[in-house]
Structure 1
Amino acid sequence: MSYRETSNIGTLSQGVEINKVLRNTYFLLGLTLAFSAVAAGISMAMGMPAIGAIVCMIAGIVMLFVVHKKADSASGIFWVFGFAGLMGASLGPMLLAYAGLPNGPSLIMQALAGTALIFFGLSAYALTSRKDFSFMGGFLMIGLLVIVVAAIANIFLSIPALSLTISAVAVLVMSGLILFDTSRIVHGGETNYIRATVALYLNIFNLFVHLLQLLGIFGGDD
């Protein structure tokens, strides 16, 4: 067998493996998002207080480390759903607050639609163009760090303009991360579909939250 034939077989095998990771990732992502939506609905129905959301969020962050540790084992699926359930439940109080606004349900639906449009649009672009967006990694990590530092500072400062800026920057960074993480799967940089699912889930989760906050700022008084 010639070198070229061997190379072609290797390339084909790699392509099959990448497609398998993509299918598994999007299938699991759809299930975890649906599970999060159910958890959020239960949280709203129970009238979970803000402190409950904070507890769920902290537990979700802890669960995230467990998911990454168990990603290569069969139990990883279980931990992914535990993580998604906690993150979904943490949204309950915020969604309940927005739902209480005169145009709250409309804002929530607009945020959901906007999140879906951005995610599917950027994912489709990364998948069809097959461009390598790994060069964005450094900029995106810096953006995440700036968002975290600014968000912590604004807890004490409570500056509305800063909140607006944080949400706007977060939407841009999460959009960039969707391209980055999808590109990593396409180019074989991420071969574990559980880790890939969690990465995309977090992008979608944060994109929705910050889109909703932006819509609330601009349209909350309608």
Structure 2
Amino acid sequence: MANERLASLGQVQASPEAAKVLRNTYWLLSLTLLFSAAVAGTAMAINAPHPGLIITLVGYFGLLFAVEKTKNSGWGLVTVFALTGFMGYTIGPILNAYMGAFANGGEIVMTAMGGTGAIFLGLSGYAIVSGRRFNQWAGALFVGILVAFVLGLGAVFFQIPALSLAVSAMFVLLMSGLILYQTGEIVNGGETNYISATVTLFVSIYNLFLSLLHLLGAFMGEE
């Protein structure tokens, strides 16, 4: 698997402890992505309704809090799969909406998936092989994500399509930076908990995929 190859490359420069965290992170990330995809596929198959913005935010932040509280125990794995499964469920109705709204909906979805995978593997590979640490980005990433989140809520509540597209473009850049930052922290020993690392990378991939999907739908969608 590509994740295993990235982890093996990281062993060249990372300490044994960092290499172990990197390996465990990619294993857990692979499992959570598969689980999330299975839940999303199930939600699509049964045409499940989207839970709505409020339930999505409450569920996401509530489960994220649970992960943070249990990350140093066996319950951490349970909460990680609960979080990623919930996030997978929220994707299912969105994908159905794209498939129904656009004649080329399948192409848009697959392009977004391919783009997300290529960006993640490329950035992770660069961070691992270069051995660079991007901790100087931490503050800017935090502020940028907070600003983008608030603007995104504004775009939803005030129904401003142009702002929504701008926020999606911002999230593509911010999640790309977060992937570099988190991978660099793992390789250089700045992140020692593979559960925390997995959640950060999963959330990055999730937001990156949805942002690309939104942008591609706006510019490639054929009704």
Q: TM-score, normalised by structure 1?
A: 0.90
Q: 1:145 to 1:56 in 2, by over 3 A?
A: closer
1:74 CA displacement: 1.3
1:133-144 alignment, distance < 5 Å: 133-144=134-145
Instruction: Establish whether residue 210 from structure 1 lines up as the match of residue 202 from structure 2.
Output: no
Partner residue in 1 for 2:192 = 191
Give the Cα separation in 1 of the matches to 2:48 and 2:78: 24
Partner residue in 1 for 2:8 = none
Q: Which runs of 5+ in 1 are unaligned?
A: 1-13
Give the Cα separation in 1 of the matches to 2:41 and 2:53: 13
For the pair shown, which has the larger CA radius of gyration, 1 or 2? 1
Q: Secondary structure at the match of 1:51?
A: coil
For residues 30-67 of structure 1, give each alpha carbon's deviation from its aligned partner in whole angstroms, at most 9, with x where no partner exists: 00000000000111112111336753553232111111
1:83 CA displacement: 0.9
Give the Cα separation in 1 of the matches to 2:40 and 2:179: 23
1:160 CA displacement: 1.6
Instruction: Establish whether residue 129 from structure 1 lines up as the match of residue 130 from structure 2.
Output: yes
Give the Cα separation in 1 of the matches to 2:53 and 2:149: 18
Instruction: Establish whether residue 120 from structure 1 lines up as the match of residue 121 from structure 2.
Output: yes
Aligned length: 210
Give the Cα separation in 2 of the matches to 1:194 and 1:33: 14
Partner residue in 1 for 2:174 = 173
Q: Which moved more, 1:153-162 or 1:33-42?
A: 153-162
Partner residue in 1 for 2:87 = 87
Letter of the structure 2 residue corresponding to residue 37 of structure 1: A
Query: 1:131 touches 1:183 (CA, 8 Å); kept in 2?
Result: yes
Letter of the structure 1 residue corresponding to residue 180 of structure 2: L
Give the Cα separation in 2 of the matches to 1:17 and 1:185: 10
For residues 69-123 of structure 1, give each alpha carbon's deviation from its aligned partner in whole angstroms, at most 9, with x where no partner exists: 1110012111111111101001111110011120001100000000000000000
Letter of the structure 2 residue corresponding to residue 38 of structure 1: A
Q: Which moved more, 1:58-67 or 1:202-211?
A: 58-67
Q: Which moved more, 1:118-127 or 1:181-190?
A: 181-190
Query: 1:64 touches 1:83 (CA, 8 Å); kept in 2?
Result: yes
Give the Cα separation in 2 of the matches to 1:184 and 1:125: 13
Q: TM-score, normalised by structure 2?
A: 0.90
Moved over 6 A (4+): none
Query: 1:22 touches 1:185 (CA, 8 Å); kept in 2?
Result: yes
Give the Cα separation in 1 of the matches to 2:181 and 2:83: 22
Partner residue in 2 for 1:46 = 46
